[in-house]
Amino acid sequence: MTKHAERLELDKILASAASYATLEESRADILSLTPTAELGEAERRLSMTEEATLLLYELGAGRILDFSPVGDSLERAEKGSTLTNAELLNAARLLASARVCYRAVHAFSDPRIEGMKSLTDRLIFDETLERDITDKILNENEIADTASEKLFEIRREIRSLGERIRARLSAYLTGEDRKYLQDGLVTVRGDRYVVPVKAEYKRSIRGFVHDRSQSGATVFIEPEEVLGMNNELMDLSIDEKEEMERILRELSREVGRMRDRLEADIEVLREYDLFCALAEYGYHGGCIRPKLNGRGMLDIRLGRHPLLDRKKAVPVSVTLGEEYDFLLISGANTGGKTVTLKMCGLFCLMAACGLFVPAGEGTRLAVFSGVYCDIGDSQSIEENLSTFSSHIINLCEILQEAGKNSLVLIDEPGGGTDPEEGQALARAVLSSLAEKGCRGIVTTHYSALKEFAYEQERMQNGCMEFDAEDYRPLYRLKIGAPGSSNALAICTKLGLPEETVEKARSYLSEGARSFERTIRAAEESRIAADAVRRETEAVKSEWEARLQTLEREEEKFKREREKFLYASKAEARRIVAERTARAEELLSEIEELFKKETLTESDIIRARTLKNKMGEGVPEEEEPVRLIPVDRESLKAGETVFVGTMSAEGVVLSVKKEKNSAEVQVGSLRVRCKIDDLFFPRKQREEKREVRVVKNLAARQDIPRECDLLGLTAADAAIETENFLDAALVAGATEVRIIHGMGTGKVRAAVHEVLRKHPHVESYRLGKYGEGETGVTIVKLK
């Protein structure tokens, strides 16, 4: 990492991102990340970070399994060495990590993760070897009895022989020789069973002395009668050790055969873990993927320095490289100039490393061939360098190395020396960098440098806003005008005596005072204009929202109108078709009568009767009917309304305005429906005529045989269930299906409560297999 990147504190960002890594190698890889100067490579890194974010936080894929660094164990296994239990278990963990990672990524068919799929396609794993190791090796010190049949048999014999030895020695603990023993227990010394004998009685027990206690009071003797069995036990222990070594040797040989593939897996897993760590850093930091370009253009929208508290940092927007190549930021001390400067450079370095940045959507960053900076006090006592000397050395390096595709960040150029000479030096440095075609951001307090920016075509002034009333910085960057340093005003705020501040003002040249007053007045006017603009925009947004609401209401009214017109036309067609069919039926009967050669008196009476029937039920004149939506606030019980969902009139029984529902008596049915579905019928006549009551039964409507309540609350589901049941009864349905889903069961309970109380429900049950099971209720109506 270059010293310029360190000055911008990229190392701190990488350390924070590395803390999210699972593998030690990945943490080291992140800490050693260097920003790329290639646009294509930077895009690839950001795409991989984006895909990792998608996998972790949208698709729900897990992180990789951790495994320890393998060191040289794979190389030793390939050369024939036998690995330890721990090394083999770590190899199995590596195989499991590769397997889990591959399956986690390839479990999704999302085309947005093609990069991660291509990366994990290189993973190779052997599930048989992985299972073989984990089944045979229990931990770092134990091998399972079932690792081989021979090992199982040896250990069975060892346990059996040990029990026989302990049984033989237990005679010493209970017999006459018990008085010679120090403790009433059998112990082991040097893998041989012994008994603890008091030192003064050691010649009373025939056998071999294997050890003595530190105090010398106890000797551990192997009795002669168990000597042969102990020897046999030692032989079995040797056989056990040889068999375990053989098992480890075979497993090590299998691991050695996979050395190249396992090392390739490690590289893939390290890269996968690296991008997952970068994704997790971006997710927890509220970061977004910036759009990259190779043309040196920056457009940071509401960016904040990633090392600042995200809850307290004031977002800053910065542009560079499109209308101007150099931005000079001026303004009050502690106003955020240096932080903004460092943020711009740090963002470009982060993006070039594959990291997302804490900014707003639409942020654009450039990939530079180099990012150079001269920031802060670089005084060095060891090298006998003053602040000014250190800055000059940095500027020499920047002027020598920076080129056309470079970003240069300079904090207070020309500082630390005579102001007049410093201003001249700063202008010369900026001119040289501009001639090289660099992009740059510079902070300054020099008035001459602010004027210089006005004179140059590809330079622009900017200022950090300052509240002149409260004497405090606002940490907002305004591009297009320079800012006043407000040094004397800040001194007053910090407690410097007023007479001292006034004396300082008197020492200013008239030109300096005039320039500062002009800048301060312009800044105050601009801040006031911005406040008016924000207020105007707020009013505009409010009226736009109201207009959108009115447009939605108008659109809703149009849809309702079209719906009623369609229903009216359909009803008219039905009536015409019904009466036409009836007339044709009566005419057919009359024609049949007149086909007879001779008409009897009864035939004539029959024909007259049919003729009279043709006139029955036909009103003298159809009354035009106009439906008017009811007013929710004025609707009350006892009013006659038209129920849109049932195409029938009814009488309002009760109104619940807070729930937007009403209970209506339609014929013999009590219906609960939404107030929005109720209308006042209005009949209009040009003149009064004799009223004739005609009973006109509408044709039975076809309704859906199921009611879908998914997504509704329990209260709304209850209302919809009652309306559906009433409509089903009117249509003559005998069995219906209500879809309420499983969920928490609240909607299902509300539906069943309605069904239990409804007078026309004969029975109900939950769905069977193939019917929707507990997510559906089948209702049988009376």
pLDDT digits (tens, 9 = 90+) for 43-85: 999 999 999 999 999 998 888 999 999 989 999 999 999 999 9
The CA distance from 328 to 455, in Å, is: 13
Residue type at position 299 = D
- Please say if the pLDDT value at position 620 is more than 50: no
| Contact yes or no for 304/476 (Cβ under 8 A) | no
Among 571-580, 608-617, 763-772, where is mean pLDDT lowest?
608-617
Residue type at position 149 = E
User: Crossing angle, helix 259-284 and helix 39-54, to 10 degrees?
Assistant: 80
How high is the pLDDT of residue 24?
94
Q: Work out the pLDDT band at 17, boundaries 50, 70, 90.
A: very high
How high is the pLDDT of residue 695?
40
How high is the pLDDT of residue 631?
82
Instruction: Read off the pLDDT of residues 701-760 as tens digits, 9 standing for 90 and up.
Output: 555 678 888 878 888 888 888 888 878 877 778 888 898 888 788 888 889 998 988 888
Instruction: Read off the pLDDT of residues 650-663 as tens digits, 9 standing for 90 and up.
Output: 888 888 888 888 88
The CA distance from 88 to 130, in Å, is: 9
Instruction: Read off the pLDDT of residues 384-427 as tens digits, 9 standing for 90 and up.
Output: 456 778 888 888 999 999 988 999 999 888 777 777 888 888 89
Query: Of 443, 447, 455, 452, nearest to 412 (Cα)?
Result: 443
Percent of the chain with pLDDT over 90: 36
More confident residue, 615 or 343: 343
Residue with tokens 């920031």: 375
How high is the pLDDT of residue 699?
46
| Contact yes or no for 501/491 (Cβ under 8 A) | yes
How would DSSP label each residue in 67-117? ----TTHHHHHHTTPPPPHHHHHHHHHHHHHHHHHHHHHHT---GGGHHHH
Q: Work out the pLDDT band at 21, boundaries 50, 70, 90.
A: very high
For 297, 408, 415, 422, 453, the CA distances from 460, given in Å and listed in that order, are 14, 15, 21, 20, 6
- Please say if the pLDDT value at position 685 is more than 60: no
| Contact yes or no for 205/223 (Cβ under 8 A) | yes
Instruction: Read off the pLDDT of residues 532-591 as tens digits, 9 standing for 90 and up.
Output: 777 888 888 888 888 888 888 888 877 777 777 767 766 777 777 777 777 777 777 777
Beta bridge partners of 707: 738
Under DSSP, the state recorded for 779 is E
Q: Work out the pLDDT band at 16, boundaries 50, 70, 90.
A: very high
Q: Span 130-146, mean pLDDT?
A: 93
CB under 8 Å, gap of 24 or more: what pairs does 702-708 form?
Answer: 702/731, 703/727, 703/728, 703/731, 703/733, 705/733, 705/735, 705/736, 705/737, 706/736, 706/737, 706/738, 706/739, 707/736, 707/737, 707/738, 707/739, 708/739
How high is the pLDDT of residue 682?
63
Instruction: Read off the pLDDT of residues 168-192 as tens digits, 9 standing for 90 and up.
Output: 777 777 776 777 777 767 788 877 8
How high is the pLDDT of residue 714?
85
SS3 content of the chain, % helix, strand, coil (to 5): 50, 20, 30
The CA distance from 52 to 472, in Å, is: 42
Give Cα 370 to chain centroid, integer Å.
33
Residue-averaged pLDDT of the chain:
83
Instruction: Read off the pLDDT of residues 451-492 as tens digits, 9 standing for 90 and up.
Output: 888 888 888 988 887 665 565 667 778 887 776 666 666 666
Q: Work out the pLDDT band at 604, boundaries 50, 70, 90.
A: low
Instruction: Read off the pLDDT of residues 277-292 as tens digits, 9 standing for 90 and up.
Output: 999 999 999 999 999 9
- Residue 478's H or E segment, with its range, is strand 472-479
Beta bridge partners of 628: 680
How high is the pLDDT of residue 626?
62
SS (HEC) of 214-248: CCCCEEEEEEHHHHHHHHHHHHHHHHHHHHHHHHH
- Please say if the pLDDT value at position 689 is more than 60: no
More confident residue, 129 or 646: 129
